[in-house]
Structure 1
Amino acid sequence: MSARTRTSQLLYQAELLIETPIQEDEHAVTRQMAIEEGALALFELALESFLAEITEHARLDTRRWQVLLGADGPALAELIRLRELAAQPQSWLGWLVGMLLKLHGDDGAAKRPAYNPSMIALESNASLGDEFYSHLQSAKQEMAALRETSHEW
């Protein structure tokens, strides 16, 4: 399987997972959290596969996003573009990096919904699943554009 095929497969699997309907029972909240974090883990694998794909010509010895997207990462045009994107918190990559840092942290990325209707919500009302889906679609568009740039090399 090529890196491009693997990237597409992982993105598709993440999308399928995040769209999984949840049966309403005593485990529904925990199941939803597991699905959200599983989808994020697949998105992370897709990001690393994509990084391998667009840096194939450079023959790098790593595909870890933390290294390649770090400030002292390789000076490849595609990676520079992705670093700039990661620095924008509202971009798909800025959102993903923030979520992956949470995912790897002690508290995780998925949160239990607040059930107290008298509380004022301080965060966005969008669920992680809704945000995930929106950013995944943006990622697919950006990846297609970067593939074109990378292919030209």
Structure 2
Amino acid sequence: MNKDEKNIESSREVTIIGYGESGYELVNSINNLGLKITIMDINPEVFSKLPDVNIKNGDIVPIIGDGMSINDLSNLSKDSSVVIVLTGNDSANLFIGQLAKQLFSASKIICKINNEKLRLLGDSQNIVAYSPITLFNEKILSII
């Protein structure tokens, strides 16, 4: 187990900002690991997809808020070992990642960023920036 996995294991808490299609799939996978998940989204309707049982037992905590707002971000738990930013806007994701880097003690800040220049900027700030298209291409190339 590497250092990052130990940090995640010890805190057992992940924060996701932006709960669209990517967030839905990711929450299911993270929940299966037994980690507590806090999800922030500006649209309260997206939380209807979350399993009620996981909300009731505290495994998933939905919070209505805007990741672009320092006040809203400040209301999130500072104990998360990982913050994942998945809004639909690359620039917003990078900005939120930068804010999260300042506000949280998380060992990893991960942002979904499709724009290559913004990804490189995120990488230069120790923000893990990934693109689904790049990941897909890498997977295909590893298969063929």
Q: Flag whether TM exceeds 0.5 (same fold).
A: no
Q: Which protein, 1 or 2, shows the higher relative CO under an 8 Å CA cutoff with sep ≥ 6?
A: 1
Which one has the bigger strand percentage? Answer: 2
TM-score for the superposition, normalised by structure 2: 0.25
Which one has the bigger helix percentage? Answer: 1
Return the index of the structure with the highest Cα Rg.
Answer: 1
